[in-house]
Amino acid sequence: MSNTWRAMLQPESVVIVGASASPGRPGHEIIRNLQANKYEGTIHLVNPKGGEILGLPVTKDIESLPDNIDHAVIIVSAAATTDVVRRCAAKGIGTFTLAAGGYSEVDEQGAQLQDDLEKTIRELGVRAIGPNTSGNISMPHKFTSSFFPLGWIRPGNISYIAQTGNFATHTQRYITSGEHYGVARVIGLGNKIDIEESEALEYLADDDETKAIFIYLESFKKPKHFMEVARKASAKKPIFLLKGGTSQEGSKAAIAHTAALASDSKVVEAAIRQSGITQLTEYSQLFHVAKAMSCMPLPRGNRVSFLCPSGAMLVVLTDLCQQKWGLEVPDLEEVNRQRLQDIGPAWLRMRNPVDIWGPAMVHGIEKAYRDGIEAVMDDPNIDSVVVVMVLVDEFGRPPLDFIVDMAKKYPDKPLLVSFTGIKERMEEAKAFLEPRGVPTYPYIEQPFEVLSILNKARQAMERSQRAG
């Protein structure tokens, strides 16, 4: 690991220039975030008023700081940032998170400020993320430079590179409060005057804490170099990219957001495919796919089995698998089809996909689903399984431990769960299953969409590995 990333994401000491005693202010919330996550390094605060903030002493000026602090988070105005960087660099600080907006994404005056800041960074030989960024997250080291009120952040194995501040702000707040997977790193690039996506991707590709990488970009600073880095990185671990600014109106919005210059969408898509990256098409896929990747393997193929309590679901989902998602719904080997038949009523021919309602009425929900899952998981023709659970009080409330047992018994085959029935019971099931390593989805199409994307990721990795 380079000294830059060690100082950026694993600092033993950090200074917050622009620290504030006022709750709600960025310079206050970053301190609260560090304390909420039990950051173990030394926190230095700078504010001309001095005093104490949240139990920490405040230094009145940069010049009174100790030398060689690892990292500085600068939370002052755009007009003041360049001077602050110079003064910090004079104290031996070599890496910076630059929070201020108001640069080239705003107007010509902001563009001039950004140009001056970029020249200063190069002249001083320091490294910086931003400006116009809400910071980074590095949970293996209990560190964040985000100034959004995040509180405790769940650690995990998913990492994000984002050309938007929202990943280290309200999006991370959603992941922590609304999902059950955690993050390893979040790198908020901002306007990319120095560190850009290629360097961040290269770091995460070699990061042992990162299982999968998810990227949101509106532009490529060094397109050719990024694709070269991606080809090597995608042979090591799955990489997913959502590219913003691909339409004419989206491109205008990207310029207003981070001063991004969009590229021709067809050229970009072709380059992305060749680089081994799996392209996402919807914002929510950054979470739906990450949730599955956090606890499941990539499927070994595109052959899926699913168990549903509705014949209509079986028909519609089979059509969508073949027509939309690139998934096969193969026949089972006869020995496993017969296992399904043994738990089904005599009048119902059991097969893949599995109409589980008949067996559930005969044997109860838990036994029917357990035996059905085992039969399809054991089948060599099946690479992954989707279970649509029926959850209504009138049919009892079966314990869901058996689904966790199935996921553990078959660790090489993804097991994804969706629901039908009472919304409250669905939320309870999500809260039970996901912390135990089983991803769930509220709508029955979502797990299939996720499996389709994961299958593409497997194919992309295999192409990159063959290419060497």
SS3 labels along the chain:
CCHHHHHHHCCCEEEEECCCCCCCCHHHHHHHHHHHCCCCCEEEEECCCCCEECCEEEECCHHHCCCCCCEEEECCCHHHHHHHHHHHHHCCCCEEEECCCCCCCCCHHHHHHHHHHHHHHHHHCCEEECCCCCCEEEHHHCEECCCCCCCCCCEEEEEEEECCHHHHCHHHHHHHHHCCCCEEEEEECCCCCCCCHHHHHHHHHCCCCCCEEEEEECCCCCHHHHHHHHHHHCCCCCEEEEECCCCHHHHHHHHHHHCCCCCCHHHHHHHHHHHCCEEECCCCHHHHHHHHHHHCCCCCCCEEEEEECCHHHHHHHHHHHHHCCCCECCCCCHHHHHHHHHHCCCCCCCCCCEECHHHHHHHCHHHHHHHHHHHHHCCCCCCEEEEEEEECHHHCCCCCHHHHHHHHHCCCCCEEEEEEECHHHHHHHHHHHHHHCCCEECCCCHHHHHHHHHHHHHHHHHHHHHHC
Tally the domains of the chain.
2
Q: What is the pLDDT of residue 397?
A: 80
Boundary residue ending a domain (258, 293, 328): 293
Instruction: Please give the model's pTM, rounded to 2 decimal places.
Output: 0.94
Note whether residue 220 is domain-resident: yes
pLDDT at 249: 58
Statement to judge: residues 392 and 278 lie in one domain? no
Regarding whether 261 and 148 lie in a shared domain, the answer is: yes
Angle of helix 334-343 relative to helix 365-377, nearest 10 degrees, comes to: 180
Model confidence pLDDT, tens digit, residues 206-227? 999 999 999 999 999 999 999 9
* Model pLDDT, residue 257: 46
**Distance between CA atoms of residues 359 and 340, nearest Å:** 9
Mean pLDDT of 98-119: 93
Residue 46 lies in a domain: yes
The pLDDT mean for the chain works out to 94
Of 293, 313, 334, which one is at a domain's C-terminal end? 293
Same domain? 213 vs 353: no
Residue type present at position 411: P
188 inside domain: yes
The CATH number for 303's domain is 3.40.50.261
Is 1's pLDDT higher than 80? Answer: no
Q: State residue 441's pLDDT score.
A: 98
29-81 pLDDT, tens per residue? 999 999 999 999 999 999 999 999 999 999 999 999 999 999 999 999 999 99
Asked if residue 468 is part of any domain, the answer here is: no
Residues 306, 180 within the same domain = no
256 and 362 inside one domain: no
Task: Identify whether residues 122 and 71 lie together within a single domain.
Answer: yes
Q: Residue 259: pLDDT above 50?
A: no
Range of the domain at 350: 297-461
| pLDDT of 245 strictly over 90 | no
Q: Let me know whether 260 and 157 are in one domain.
A: yes
209 domain residue, yes or no: yes
Q: Is residue 17 scored above 70 in pLDDT?
A: yes
Last residue of a domain, one of 271, 293, 315: 293
Residue 209 CB contacts under 8 Å (≥ 6 apart), including other chains = 140, 157, 159, 184, 185
